[in-house]
Structure formats: C-alpha cells, structure tokens
Structure 1
Amino acid sequence: MNPKRVAEEIVKAIGGQENIESAAHCATRLRLVLKDNDKADKEAVEDIEQVKGAFVNSGQFQIIIGQGAVNKVYKELSNVSEVSEVSKGEAKKAAMKNLNPAQRFARVLSNIFVPIIPAIVASGLLMGLLGMMQTYGWVDPDSSLVVLLDMFANAAFVFLPMIIAYSAAKEFGANPYLASVLGAIMIHPALQNAWTLGDGIEETIDLFGLEIGMVGYQGTVLPVLIAVWFMARIENGVRSYVPEVLDIIITPFVTILTSGFITLGLIGPFGRLLGDGISASLALIYDTAGVAAGLIFGGLYSAIVITGVHHSFHAFEAELLSNVGRNFLLPIWSMANIAQGGAALAVYFKTQNKKLKAIALPAATSCFLGITEAAIFGVNLRLMKPFIGAMIGGALGGAYVVLTNVGMTAVGLTAIPGLSIVEGGSLIHYVVGFIIALSGSFIATWLLGFNDQK
C-alpha cells in the first residue's frame, strides 16, 4: 500500500481539500466532516484499492481503511490536504452541525451513556454471576461472598444518578463535580430509598406551600439528565454576571442551592413520572404485541442504526433496568446485529469479487462481536439485498427471543459478548435465537442474491 497515493485519491474523490472541514480517525476508519457531503463521490472513494467501504453516519463521512493502515493514510491525508489534526471529540462536535434535531438528540444521549457503559456492564455481569451462584446452589445464600457480590453488583445502579450526572455535565457544559454533588443529593440517605416506593411515600415536607416527597432517585435516569441540563443553565447564567474574583464562591453556591431545590421539588417528580411512563409503555408493547414486537423491532433495528438514532436507546434500556428490573430490548437488538453478520457471511461465500470477499469476512466477524458498521455500510447496504436478508434474519431472531422472554441484566453488549449478561434461565434461548438470526439472514441473502460487483 502507498498511503500517500491513497490519501491523494481520497481527497480528490471527496471534492478536494477545500471541502474538508475537519478530519480525525478511529481504529479502522477515517472520520471526515465535509462542508458538503453531496460533493463527495462515494463510489469513487470505494473504488480506491485500500478502501473497504464508505458511508455517511452521525454527520461524518466515514471511510473504512483497516486497523494500522488508517493511521498511515490519515497522516498523509493531513499533509496532502493541509487539514489540522483534531480529536474524535472535536470531530464529533463539528459533525453535529450536519445532523437534524432528532439525530442531535440521539447523539447527545450517546455521548452521555457510552462512557458509562463499562460500569453498567460490570454490574450486569456481577448480577448474572450472583444469580447463577444462587440458582444452582454453588454457594450458601447467606455466605459472606454472596453479601459482598450483591454489594458490588448493586453499586453502579444505587449510585447511577452520580455517574450519569458526571457524564452529562461534560456534554451540557457544566462543572462535573457540581453535577456529581447534585446527583448525590438525589440519593442522599435522608431520602427514602427509591426501591421501597411500593409501600408508599413515608415522609413529605412542606416548603413554601409546596409538598415535597422525601424520596430518592436510586437507579433512575431521566430525572438526573433533566436536572443536570437545568443546572448547566443556572451555572453558566450565574457565571456570566458574577465578577471573576467571586466566581469560585458565588457560582457553586447559587448553582447547587437553586438546582437542589428545583430538582427535589419539580424536576425529580416529573422525570420519575416520565421515566415510569416510558418503561410502562415499552412493557405494554412487549407484553401485548409479543412476537409481533420482536418481528418488527428485530427487522427494523438495523434501519434505525443507519440514522444514528439507536444511540438514544441506552437511556431507555437503563430506565427498564431501573423500573422493570430487566432489559428486554437488548436481546432483540442483538439478534439484528447477528443477522447483519449472517448476511455478510453469505456475501463472502457467494461473491466472486476478491475485494468484497476481503471486506465481508472480517465485517461478519465484527458483527458477531457486536460491531455492525463495517458490515452494514461496507457490505450489506452497499449491495442492498443482503441488507434486506439481514432484516429478515433479525426479525426471525427477534421474534424468537420475545417468544421465549429472553432478558438481559445490563446494556451495551450484544451478540457473543452479550452471552455474559443474559439472564441465567434464558441462556439457551438466546443461543437458539442467535442461530435463527444467523441462519435466517444467511439463507435469505443467499436466496435473494445480489448484483455481484466486478
């Protein structure tokens, strides 16, 4: 590979260096923010020898180069186009200007929740391990080990408002430590534990004629998101009027005082009601529509991925874990991801195009690890009929996991890694759904065929 030549060809195909607003890269892809995406010739980019696929997602023109090679091409691209290097975060901010309101909202939620997924995954894995130990009688239920594991598993959910507050503050432009204090106020020991609300609110206080329930927000999502957004408005508003010499004293004091009162009196109850409503609606659809919900959601999820709106689903899944106690959406998304891998695998065996073969197999493999972008944009959507085959496989797999009531204990992991967070009694059904989604998409793609690229 000649990185300089590849970079020159890319610059030419995307409309010249004057069309590049910013450039960054991840492990496998160039992430370009273009001034006008219509000036980029996607087919010309994909015809470049080293390029494995190109697509527009989240306001960025992304070009799949491959691990290792992308660093070399990016370095030459910076020299050829004279575009200064920016971080992925800066590139994302520049890309936000190219998104519609729905995509921007989804991207904001994604930026908040993706960083905290490891904490939720760790807790979910510990919950799964603890559940298996208790179900199969591996240890005495009253043993010290069970007590400690239960504490470890619950910690992220008990203190979730603080974790979300810190992450949300970075996105909303607030002080993350002040936001953490606000999150701590929402779960203060003086408040009734949120998980005991089934017995009713134990204590209320009268504040200037406003009746406030002394109830905590352990495990909740929407109340703290709204509270931190409001806090950011207060903090930045106060800071704009306070002299710099007094900023460190007055701004934090006014911010916490105001935000704390408004959160416990108004935002918290409203956010809890909204979160409960969303969870109840999803549960109602799941229980009422049943298999049909799995067919529809499993079939359409990959189409939603193309828009980028799927990034907002983490918030709803976290609400389900808090309010329902299980995540019944993630198994459906998992089947859709697996199906994209099955379709890409069919392309690998059916195509005569050597370059497409070289892309399809690793793309399929990444799907089985829960990463679908390379398969969707580099193979299946590019050929269209394999994408339809994947939607069929996703629908079949989604229907099965709904029929067998498969649930998960965390968010963020799908496909093979998702095995680790599946509820103990559902593991065999998850594996069967995996096989159905994979084989269904493979067979559908094989029968539908596709226009094999020369």
Structure 2
Amino acid sequence: MNHQEIAERLVELLGGKDNIVSATHCATRLRLVIEDEGQINKEEIEELDGVKGAFSSSGQFQVIFGTGTVNKVFAKFGPLVGVTSDEEPKSTTSHNEVAKRKMNPFARFARTLSNIFVPIIPAIVAAGMLMGLLGMMKTYNWVDADSGLFILLDMFSSASFIILPILIGFSAAKEFGGNSYLGAVIGGIMTHPALLNPWGLSDAQPETLDFLGFGVEMLGYQGTVIPVLLTVYLMAKIEKGLRKIVPNVVDLLLTPFLTVIFTGFIAMLVVGPLGRILGNGITTVLDVVYSTAGPVAGLLFGGLYSTIVLTGVHHSFHAIEAEVLLAAGGNYLLPIWAMANVAQGGATLAVFFKTKNKKIKGIALPASVSAFLGITEPAIFGVNLRYRRPFIGAAIGGALGGAYVVFTQVMANGIGLTGIPMFAIAQDPLNYGIGFLIALAGAFVATLLLGWKEETK
C-alpha cells in the first residue's frame, strides 16, 4: 500500500485542499470537515486501496481505514491539506468546534454530552470491573467480607461514583467553555462532607438548613449526573459574563470568587434540587418501561439502536446510562446496545462467508471482529449499509439479543464497553454470553436468508 499515493488521490476525490476545512483522525477513521460535500466522489473513495468505507455523520465526512493504517495515511494526508499533527486542526478553531457548527441543534447537544462523558468512562469502567470482582469474591466466598482486602477494594470501587460530580464538573466546564478547575470546585461543593452522602443509603434523612427563610436540604449529590451538568452549564455562563464586565486588573481575583459564590447558591437553592427531580423522573420512566414492557422493550431498542447510531443521537446516551447505573444499581441499557453491536458483527460475518467480492471479503472479516470488540463503524458503513439487507439482518439479530438480555435482566456495572469487553463489567456473564450468541447467530442467519445484490465491480 502506497500511503502517499492514497493520500494524494484522497485529497483529489474530496474536492481538493480548499474543500477540506479541518482534518483529524481517531483509532480507525479520518475525520474531515468538508466545505461542500457535494464535491466528494464517495464511490471512488471507497474503491481506494485500504479504504473500508466512507460516510457522513456528526458534521464530519469520515473515511474508514482501520487501526494502524489510518495513522500512516494521515501522516501523508495531513501535510497535503495543511495539518501538521494529530492535535492541530487546519483551521484556527478546534476540529470539534468546526464539526459542531455543521450539525443540527439536537446532534450538537448529543455530541456535547458525549464529549463530557467519554473522558470519564475509564474511571467508571475501572470501578465497574472492581464491583464485578467484589461480587465474585462475595458469591464464591473467596475472601471474608470483613477482611481488610475486601474493605479496601470496596473503597476503590465506590470512589469513582462518589466523586462523579467532581469528574463531571471538570469535564463539563471544559466543554462548556468555563474553567475546568472551577467546574471541579462546583462538583466538590455538591459532594461536600457537610452534606449527607446518599450513596448506598436507601433511607437517608438529611437535615434542613434555614437560609434567609428558605429550607435547604443538606443532601449531597454523590453519584448524580444531571444536577451537576445543569449547574456547571450555568457556572460557565456566569464566568463568561463576569469576564466581560470585571476589569482585567482584578479578573484573576474577582471572577473565580464571584463565580463560585453565585453558582454555589444557585446549585444548593435551585438547580441542584430541580436537577435531582429531573434525574429521578428520567430513571423512573425508564424503570417503568423496563419492568412493564420487558423483553418487548429489549426487542425494540435492540433492533433500532444501530439506526439511532446513524443519526449520532446515541452520543447522548452516556449521560442517561450513568443516571440509570447510579439509581438502579446497574446499567440495564448497555447490554441492549451491546446486542445491537454484536449483531452488526454477525451480519458482516455472513457477508464475509458468502460474498465473492475480494475487496469486500477483505473488509468484512476485520470489520466483524471490530464489531465484536465494540467498534461498529467499519461493519455498519463499510459493509452492511452498502448492501442494506445485511443491516436489516443485523437489526433482527440485535432485537433477538436485546429481548433475551432484558428477559434475563442482565445489567452492567459501568458504561462505554460493549461486545466482548463488556464481559468484564457484566453482572451476569453467563446470560450476557447467551445473548451475545443469540444476537450473533440471529444476525448471521437473517442476513443469509435475506440475501443481497452483489456489486459487479
């Protein structure tokens, strides 16, 4: 593979250097913000050596090369369009900001939530895996629950959820354009030791503080999501507003001081309590749907999830999953999403075995493996959507798997991991594994039965 020739040809097929507003890449894809996507020759791009698919989503045109290859192509592609490193976009504004401007408001909102929660996922995953390990220790009596080892590991596993508002505050402030450390301070105020920690307490009875005639409930926000998100959003607005009116000479002193005071009062008196009510309302509605509709809900969500992925709206699910995880003691949404992702791999695997197109066969096998590991873009955009019917086959497999994991009440101890990696945080690995096989086999068989029209090239 000649990466220089591919990069040069790619620039040409994208409409030239001037049509490329910004460029970066992730683990598998080139991510490009294009001035006029009408100038793109998508069909010829997909025929380039090494290209596993191309699609437009979330304000970006994305070209799938796969792990390792994308780095080598970008190293040649970047200088051709004026980008000298992975972190430095072509435009003066960050790549994500440029991409957001091309999104509709709802997609922009979903992307904002994703940008806040993705950096936090490793902390939640680590805590979830520790919770799973503790559960096995307790179930099989590996370690005495009163032993020092168990108590320390229990501390390690709960820490991420207890300080979650601080983590969210730091990440959200950065995303909203505020000072990240002030965001962390707001999260700290909402989890202060003076407030009753409701984490793990079912019958918490907080004291009520009299403040200027208002009754302030001294209940902390440990393990909550929505209250701190709303509060830090307002904090960023207050900080920006203050910076416009506070003289530069005293900006460093007055702006943080006033921002913390104003936001702290707003958090404790208004936004925090309202955010708690909103969060409880969301989880209550989901719990009712989960407990009443049961497998039918799993069938619908498992079948429709991949279609939702095409819109980019799924980026907003991390916030909802985190709220459910903390309120219900487990994330019952993630196993459903996992079934949809596994099914995409099953459908792509069926294409691999049946297709006679050598290029598609070369794309399908690694794409299916990638889907089994939780990365579905190569499978969805490189294979299944290209033939359409395999995408429908994947929806059928995802629906069957989703119905099973809801029927058996499979939950996860975290967010962000699907496919094979989710075994590490699944509360019921056996039934999750059975659901995994149902989704894979269902999608595989459905795809073969539906068939597809082979490309002549």
TM-score normalised over the length of structure 2: 0.96
Q: Please tell me whether the aligned partners of residues 330 and 408 of structure 1 are also in contact (alpha carbons under 8 angstroms).
A: yes
Q: Which residue of 2 aligns with 1:77?
A: 77
Question: Equivalents in 2 of 1:139, 1:110: separation in Å?
Answer: 38
- 1:42 deviates by 1.3
Q: Which residue of 2 aligns with 1:323?
A: 327
Match of 2:247 among 239, 243, 247: 243
In structure 2, do the counterparts of structure 1 residues 50 and 199 end up closer, same or farther at CA, with 3 Å as the change threshold? closer
Question: Equivalents in 1 of 2:208, 2:65: separation in Å?
Answer: 59
Structure 1 residue ranges (4+ consecutive) displaced by more than 6 angstroms after TM superposition? none
Q: Give secondary structure in 2 for the equivalent of 1:199.
A: coil
Q: Which residue of 2 aligns with 1:175?
A: 179
Match of 1:216 among 181, 201, 220: 220
Q: Please tell me whether the aligned partners of residues 25 and 74 of structure 1 are also in contact (alpha carbons under 8 angstroms).
A: yes
Q: Does 1:435 align with 2:437?
A: yes
Q: Which residue of 2 aligns with 1:157?
A: 161
- 1:380 deviates by 0.6
* Paired AA for residue 281 in structure 1: V
Q: Does 1:123 align with 2:109?
A: no
Q: Give secondary structure in 1 for the equivalent of 2:119.
A: helix
In structure 2, do the counterparts of structure 1 residues 12 and 135 end up closer, same or farther at CA, with 3 Å as the change threshold? same
Q: Please tell me whether the aligned partners of residues 25 and 88 of structure 1 are also in contact (alpha carbons under 8 angstroms).
A: no
Q: Give secondary structure in 2 for the equivalent of 1:24.
A: strand
Higher mean displacement: 91-100 or 276-285:
91-100
Q: Which residue of 1 aligns with 2:311?
A: 307
Offset from partner CA, 1:39-73 (integer Å, 9 cap, x none): 21211211222322101121111111233333333
Offset from partner CA, 1:390-430 (integer Å, 9 cap, x none): 0000000000001111111111111111001111xx22111
Q: Please tell me whether the aligned partners of residues 198 and 204 of structure 2 are also in contact (alpha carbons under 8 angstroms).
A: no
Q: Give secondary structure in 1 for the equivalent of 2:209.
A: strand
In structure 2, do the counterparts of structure 1 residues 168 and 136 end up closer, same or farther at CA, with 3 Å as the change threshold? same
Unaligned runs of 5+ in 1: none
Match of 1:363 among 346, 361, 367: 367
- 1:333 deviates by 0.4
Question: Equivalents in 1 of 2:344, 2:146: separation in Å?
Answer: 44
Question: Equivalents in 2 of 1:192, 1:51: separation in Å?
Answer: 55
Q: Please tell me whether the aligned partners of residues 25 and 86 of structure 2 are also in contact (alpha carbons under 8 angstroms).
A: no
Q: Please tell me whether the aligned partners of residues 162 and 199 of structure 2 are also in contact (alpha carbons under 8 angstroms).
A: no
Q: Please tell me whether the aligned partners of residues 340 and 376 of structure 1 are also in contact (alpha carbons under 8 angstroms).
A: yes
Offset from partner CA, 1:344-364 (integer Å, 9 cap, x none): 100110111111011100000
Unaligned runs of 5+ in 2: none
Q: Which residue of 2 aligns with 1:58?
A: 58
Question: Equivalents in 1 of 2:189, 2:131: separation in Å?
Answer: 26
Question: Equivalents in 2 of 1:197, 1:36: separation in Å?
Answer: 55
- 1:200 deviates by 5.4
* Paired AA for residue 240 in structure 2: N
Question: Equivalents in 2 of 1:120, 1:364: separation in Å?
Answer: 27
Q: Which residue of 2 aligns with 1:384?
A: 388
Q: Please tell me whether the aligned partners of residues 201 and 214 of structure 1 are also in contact (alpha carbons under 8 angstroms).
A: no
Q: Which residue of 2 aligns with 1:281?
A: 285
Q: Which residue of 1 aligns with 2:14?
A: 14
- 1:141 deviates by 1.5
Q: Percentage identity across aligned positions?
A: 58
- 1:260 deviates by 0.4
Q: Which residue of 2 aligns with 1:97?
A: 101
Q: Give secondary structure in 2 for the equivalent of 1:240.
A: helix
Q: Give secondary structure in 2 for the equivalent of 1:56.
A: strand
Match of 1:396 among 394, 397, 400: 400
Q: Give secondary structure in 1 for the equivalent of 2:245.
A: coil
- 1:17 deviates by 2.1
Q: Which residue of 1 aligns with 2:198?
A: 194
Q: Please tell me whether the aligned partners of residues 342 and 364 of structure 1 are also in contact (alpha carbons under 8 angstroms).
A: yes
Offset from partner CA, 1:256-297 (integer Å, 9 cap, x none): 011001100001000000000000111111111111101000
Question: What pairs with 1:326-341 in structure 2 (closer than 5 Å)?
Answer: 326-341=330-345
Q: Which residue of 2 aligns with 1:452?
A: 454
Q: How many residues align?
A: 452
Q: Which residue of 2 aligns with 1:25?
A: 25
Higher mean displacement: 51-60 or 267-276:
51-60
Question: Equivalents in 1 of 2:413, 2:200: separation in Å?
Answer: 20
Q: Which residue of 1 aligns with 2:262?
A: 258
Q: Give secondary structure in 2 for the equivalent of 1:54.
A: strand
- 1:85 deviates by 5.2
Match of 1:353 among 357, 369, 381: 357
* Paired AA for residue 440 in structure 2: L
